[in-house]
């Protein structure tokens, strides 16, 4: 924090220079020269495995990651938490940058209580989607249930902090939403739910955007005011999809086109929604181009492999197939874009978090 003007005038030149250098070095350590963090009392998270900090640990699903080598690069030593990563997720970095705890706790984690959730909470569930049928594929938490947990959380928060403070926490919190990939790759294109027969691809995109709008309208009704909503990544470039596309090689361009089309519709919806709800601010996170830029120019982040995951062969493994029995897991995940065949490494998550925070300072704070 900058010194008061009177104090600055009283400082000797050397002291003033030292203070400036210290301030600059602090900014560099945080990876940005942003102003002081705004008064954000909590980070509240909804979505899928890109942001699930451990809720799937507590439910009856095969889609888990609370075992080695997941979490192997966590600060303080290896710690598999249920995050689909070698370390932290974007919301964790965002929370820390805002002066909040460095880990956003999972709502279903019994190690945490409402005093922890008052400063940050994650309702996300790996494998879920905007379509309720997506959650049914691997028996995970559907988005509507995440919202029910949010309502329960508010009741607990009122008992813990009182109505006025609970209302302020909910209204001033930053909401992080990342969801949609599973609706296409685990649901529609996998031909397991019947949606492929019910909708054309374009019709399914419209259906998902409508679900996203209903979700945002509901959390706004429940008090949310500042939201980041991630678009789809180039889903055809995930290592698993590259592997399945081995005969043609490279990314699955048809899937990337679907992601672009969906993102355009999502962005148009967000503009309409916020225009009709002046109290609601939503920042659209352009994951597609952020990811494509890194894949095209990996050296900008010191990456060497953007086609395979670090874990095991990096071609198909995730969840239980990514385990500590594999002799092929890489030694330095910092050289990889992907940790397993579906999810980014901690290094890339930190990059995405910075991009998100930059947008928050431009549009939400």
| Residues with active-site annotation | 49, 340, 343
Place of tokens 């949606």: 195
How far is it, in rounded angstroms, from Cα 136 to Cα 133?
5
How far is it, in rounded angstroms, from Cα 225 to Cα 124?
19
How far is it, in rounded angstroms, from Cα 65 to Cα 82?
5
Beta-bridge partner residues of 205: none
Name the nearest CA neighbour of 292 among 356, 352, 208: 352
> And the tokens for 73?
């690069």
Contacts of 33 (CB under 8 A, 6+ apart): 24, 27
Helices 90-97 and 346-363, interaxial angle, to 10°? Answer: 50
How far is it, in rounded angstroms, from Cα 104 to Cα 349?
14
How far is it, in rounded angstroms, from Cα 126 to Cα 201?
23
């Amino acid at each position: 924090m900058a010194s008061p003007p009177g104090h600055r005038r009283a400082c000797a030149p050397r002291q003033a220079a030292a203070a400036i250098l210290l301030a600059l070095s602090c900014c560099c350590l945080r990876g940005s020269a942003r102003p002081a963090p705004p008064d954000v009392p909590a980070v509240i998270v909804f979505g899928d495995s890109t942001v699930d900090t451990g809720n799937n640990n507590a439910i009856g699903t095969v889609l888990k990651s609370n075992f080695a080598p997941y979490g192997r690069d966590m600060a303080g030593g290896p710690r598999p938490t249920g995050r689909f990563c070698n370390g932290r997720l974007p919301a964790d970095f965002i929370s820390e940058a805002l002066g909040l705890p460095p880990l956003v706790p999972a709502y279903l984690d019994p190690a945490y209580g409402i005093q922890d959730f008052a400063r940050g909470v994650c309702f996300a569930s790996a494998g879920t989607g905007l379509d309720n049928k997506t959650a049914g594929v691997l028996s995970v938490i559907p988005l509507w249930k995440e919202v029910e947990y949010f309502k329960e959380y508010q009741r607990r928060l009122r008992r813990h902090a009182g109505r006025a403070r609970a209302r302020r926490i909910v209204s001033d919190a930053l909401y992080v939403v990342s969801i949609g990939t599973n609706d296409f790759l685990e649901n529609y294109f996998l031909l397991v739910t019947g949606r492929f027969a019910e909708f054309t691809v374009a019709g399914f995109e419209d259906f998902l955007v409508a679900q996203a709008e209903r979700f945002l309208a509901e959390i706004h009704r429940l008090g949310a005011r500042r939201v980041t909503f991630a678009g789809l990544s180039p889903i055809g470039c995930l290592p698993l999809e590259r592997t399945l596309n081995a005969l043609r090689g490279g990314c699955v361009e048809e899937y990337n086109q679907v992601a672009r089309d969906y993102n355009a519709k999502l962005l148009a919806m967000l503009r309409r929604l916020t225009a009709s709800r002046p109290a609601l601010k939503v920042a659209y996170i352009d994951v597609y181009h952020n990811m494509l830029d890194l894949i095209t120019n990996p050296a900008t982040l010191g990456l060497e492999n953007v086609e395979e995951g670090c874990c095991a062969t990096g071609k198909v493994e995730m969840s239980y197939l990514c385990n500590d029995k594999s002799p092929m897991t890489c030694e330095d995940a910092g050289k990889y874009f992907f940790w397993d065949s579906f999810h980014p490494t901690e290094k890339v998550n930190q990059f995405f978090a910075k991009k998100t925070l930059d947008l928050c300072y431009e549009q939400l704070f």
